[in-house]
Amino acid sequence: MASLSAAAAAQNFQMPALSPTMTEGNIASWKVKEGELFSAGDVLLEIETDKAQMDVEAQDDGVLAKIIVGDGSKTIQVGQRIAVLAEPGDDLSTLEIPEEATSAPKAAAPKQAEPAAPAPSAPQSGKSAASPPGKAQKQTYPLYPSVLFTLQANGLSKEDADKIPATGPSGRLLKGDVLAYVGRLSDSSYASTLSKQLKEKGHLDLSNIKVAAAKKPEPKPAAPAKEEPVPEPETEIAVSINLEAVLKCQQRLKETLGTTLPLSEFLERAGEIANEELPRSKNAQPTADELFNAVLGLDKIPSTSRGTFIPQTRAIPAVSGAFKSAKKSDIIDILAGKPSKRTAPKIVSAGAAAPVNVFSLSVPKEEARRANVFLARFKTILETEPGQLIL
């Protein structure tokens, strides 16, 4: 903290020297009111000189017990008492105000002038009874803010710091070293005690540290077995289709162009057309492109999609009453022209009775609507519009 004088219950706060040549200054304003607590680093007041306007910060926690020199005061000499400080928790109503020193220490004179007489509070020899056991040396590290402020408050310059015995780590100067040097410490054992503590605690004692035993990794609980999803039961949808129109179209094509188009080709082309623009599946998720276009308003998510249905077929004999169904024949084999061991659908010539075949699909329940639309289209194309399949 700034320069303090020992007192029974409070300390005098003197006008600090904010530069080596400063002898007096003006108090622009106090930033802390009487009775208010402050912490180290808080701005206590603002001081004006003929060269600059500067803030004075607190070096320790405390209470502003009394303001002696108020705002706007001019030409206050360095070392003159301007306030009284107390410790946090002190009862200000019963606080004993210390007396002001009879004379203020003089600031360091310019280099051209004769050396000024040392301040009354500083020892004439540069040493005091409480001088630390360290040795004076050039301070190569930046001075601590508390050290710099204490030097200025006691009329010492940065150059004087090289003359003060230092007890800090690596020979650094501490605030207590400066106070001991100017004789402001009543405890003569302070310096030696502090030096001993710094020496003892200047290194880490690892002799009592034991390496902890490595912990064995705890076995992770086995993950519960995932239940296999139960497949949903499929629904079979069937429709009977009369292929008479297809056979007639096939016959006309042969008579007109001399070309025979296999029945499997008619069925494949009818399936491709029937799969176009079917109602969109309930489980179908829109693609990234469809979502992006919908957000931009370029297009709506379509309500239709292309199907992939391939019906199976089984022939029904042209008999009245109940009929016996033959074994199912996969239409993939029919379209590929592969021989099948299954019973082939019985398809009669155009001059015979109308050939009727049953086409069916086995689909999940949620696909039943799409499958019905597909089979209805498939039936319509083969029974009424087979001519479009040869274009």
Residue scoring higher pLDDT (330 or 318): 330
Distances (CA, A) of 308 to 209, 268, 388: 73, 12, 21
Q: Is the pLDDT of residue 226 over 80?
A: no
DSSP 171: G
Residue scoring higher pLDDT (96 or 59): 59
pLDDT digits (tens, 9 = 90+) for 142-188: 888 888 888 888 888 888 888 888 877 777 888 888 888 887 776 55
Average pLDDT over residues 347-373: 72
For 57, list phi and psi in degrees, rounded to 5: -100, 150
- Cβ–Cβ under 8 Å, residues 40 and 85: no
- Cβ–Cβ under 8 Å, residues 84 and 66: yes
Tokens of 76: 């206050």
* Angle, CA 346 vertex, CA 342 and CA 351 arms, to 5°: 165
- Cβ–Cβ under 8 Å, residues 18 and 152: yes
pLDDT (0 to 100) of residue 342: 40
- Show the domains of the chain with their CATH numbers: 11-94 (2.40.50.100), 145-200 (no CATH), 234-390 (no CATH)
pLDDT (0 to 100) of residue 195: 65
pLDDT digits (tens, 9 = 90+) for 62-89: 888 889 899 999 988 988 899 988 888 7
Query: Percent of the chain beyond pLDDT 70?
Result: 69
Write down the mean pLDDT value for the chain. 74
Q: Is the pLDDT of residue 105 over 70?
A: no
* Angle, CA 212 vertex, CA 209 and CA 216 arms, to 5°: 175
Q: Between β-strands 278-279 and 234-242, what pairing exists: parallel, antiparallel or unpaired?
A: unpaired
Burial of 133: CB neighbours in 10 Å, binned 0-12, 13-18, 19+: exposed
